[in-house]
Chains A and B, each alone.
Chain A
Amino acid sequence: MSGEPAHGYALGDRVRIVDLGKPGHVRTPLYVRDKVGVIDHCCGSFENPENRAYGRVGRERIPLYRVRLKQRELWPDYEGAEDDSLVLEIYHHWLRPA
């Protein structure tokens, strides 16, 4: 969408959203930590909010991905359909190949 080529991950890659155990401002919610999903979209690169939140602006841009996960794998008691999914945006450094 921003016209930048993807770095590192491609559409359909399986990825794990790791728990970096990082204190302070992060945009990776707890409910997806240590969960596995697939790359749904390569969003391009953005400044890291973990820097910006502390006034460190104008730093390097890092790739952002939309990651799609199965709801049944996110919630042990999920009551919806088998195929129900959740998609959210995760920065490159929170991902590892799965």
Chain B
Amino acid sequence: MAERLITDVGGLPADEVPRQEVPQLFWEKHMIAMFNVLWSKGVFNLDEFRRAVEQMTPKEYKESSFYGRRLDGMTNLLVEKGLVDRDELAARTEQIVREGTRDHVR
């Protein structure tokens, strides 16, 4: 039998379904819109994105949140395609964390 993809969870044991409503944060909404813009423009397709998420480590996947997966999967794919440099992204991220501002476009 083939190896199980980390995303292939159908039938695996799990706890009660978490029922509380989790409001979507403002930035998450924007991130989803950006994700949509990228595939609409053909920068990547949805199957590539799913494949990128499948390529996370089991630990990363297990600890990931839904929006975290979108962001990290999208990032990994953009890095793979040479459109984003991981070091540059990390540096920019740290700068934003330090500055604590949402005024981000330089």
Contact = CB atoms under 8 A, between A and B. Distances in A.
Nearest to A74: B11
Interface stretch (A6-14, A25-33, A60-68): A25-33
A53 B10 contact: no
A5 B48 CA distance: 29
Interface residues of A, number: 20
Nearest to B12: A31
Interface in B13-65: 45, 47-48, 50-51, 54
Interface residues of B, number: 14
Contacts of A20: 2
A40 to B, nearest CB: 18
Give the dominant DSSP class at B's interface: loop
Give the dominant DSSP class at A's interface: loop
A19 B51 contact: no
Given A52-B47, A52-B48, A21 B8 contact: no
Given A25-B54, A75-B11, A30 B48 contact: no
Interface of B: 1-5, 8, 10-11, 45, 47-48, 50-51, 54
Interface of A: 19-26, 29-31, 33, 49, 52-55, 57, 74-75
